[in-house]
Amino acid sequence: MKPAARSRPNKRPQWERGYYSHGYWSGKNKLGTVKLGPKGEWDGVYRWQGGNHVGESATLALAKQAVEQAVLLGTRQLQLFQDEGG
């Protein structure tokens, strides 16, 4: 009888708060960010980037949700052009 293989726990991506931005991390891989403008010049808009998608939101919660959806879409969608090393 073969011993049961150990499975690694499935790590979920986590938000990490920074000074002027929030990062969405999975282990050591940065999946997305939500950024603010400079301290004295902030216009009240949260700018986000997740994978190849970028946008702006009025609230931090909406910006984080947009990043999470963009990352989820990028992981579930097949690549149109795959780099074959050539």
Q: What is the pLDDT of residue 20?
A: 86
- pTM across the whole model: 0.73
Distances (CA, A) of 6 to 10, 12, 58, 66, 74: 12, 18, 44, 34, 28
Is it the case that residue 65 has pLDDT exceeding 90? yes
- Amino acid in position 29: N
* pLDDT surpasses 80 at 32: yes
Tokens of 20: 């002027």
